[in-house]
Amino acid sequence: MTGLTKAELIKGWKLKTITGTDIPDITAFAGKPLLILFFNLGCPGCKGRALPFANSIVVDYGNLVNVCGIHTNFEGLDYSDEELIKAKETYYIRFPYYRDFNFNTTFINYEAGGTPHWILTDKELNPVYSIFGSDPNNALLRLELKIKELLQ
């Protein structure tokens, strides 16, 4: 589970644009479950399993689930906006993603444990699940089961 409250989720949402577009308020995602992915392009598990899994949620669940990515840098080198824009094509990213404010503000506010880290909310933006990792037999399996439960 997660110790994060809805109020903390809303208050902790601190992102920067990559492409110059406006950053949506997190409340714009209300009405459907929201899957937030914290990722970093230097993380092999993010590139090899987390980004493809998030893409599969978009494809498999279509308009039933919102997916949003947050590129964070809690350690290591950062990536330029150009590299983050190119990642959309390289990794076939099919969901909106943004840069974490001041490299890791939202990551810290949401008590993430590393990358990839996932936060799942219900349709009212109440956090219902938080998990670190990209193991298909653990984190990803659990996330998909939680998503299915929310959609029942």
pLDDT tens digit sequence for 18-55: 999 899 999 999 999 999 999 999 999 999 999 999 99
Using alpha carbons only, give the angle 34, 93, 63 rounded to the nearest 5 degrees: 40
Give the mean pLDDT of 48-76: 94
Q: How far apart are CA 85 and CA 126, in angstroms?
A: 30
| 41 within a domain of the structure (yes/no) | yes
| For residue 91, pLDDT beyond 80 | yes
Please count the other Cβ atoms lying within 10 Å of the Cβ belonging to residue 107.
25
| 56 within a domain of the structure (yes/no) | yes
| 30 within a domain of the structure (yes/no) | yes
Q: What pLDDT does 130 receive?
A: 96
| 88 within a domain of the structure (yes/no) | yes
| For residue 2, pLDDT beyond 80 | no
| 59 within a domain of the structure (yes/no) | yes
Q: What pLDDT does 1 receive?
A: 54
Dihedral sign from CA coordinates of 24, 10, 91, 75: positive
Q: How far apart are CA 69 and CA 20, in angstroms?
A: 16
Q: What are phi and psi of 69, to 5 degrees?
A: -105, 145
- CATH, residue 75: 3.40.30.10
Q: What pLDDT does 75 receive?
A: 73
For 31, the domain range is 6-151
Per residue in 105-144, pLDDT tens? Answer: 999 999 999 999 999 999 999 999 999 999 999 999 999 9
Q: How far apart are CA 50 and CA 122, in angstroms?
A: 20
Put the strands of the sheet holding 117-121 in their side by side order: 15-16, 97-100, 66-71, 34-39, 117-121, 127-132
Q: How far apart are CA 104 and CA 82, in angstroms?
A: 19
Question: What pLDDT band is residue 74 in, cutting at 50, 70 and 90?
Answer: confident
| 1 within a domain of the structure (yes/no) | no
Q: How far apart are CA 30 and CA 41, in angstroms?
A: 27
| 87 within a domain of the structure (yes/no) | yes
What is the total count of domains within the chain?
1
Give the mean pLDDT of 8-23: 95
Q: How far apart are CA 139 and CA 129, in angstroms?
A: 11
92: Cα separation from own chain's centroid: 15
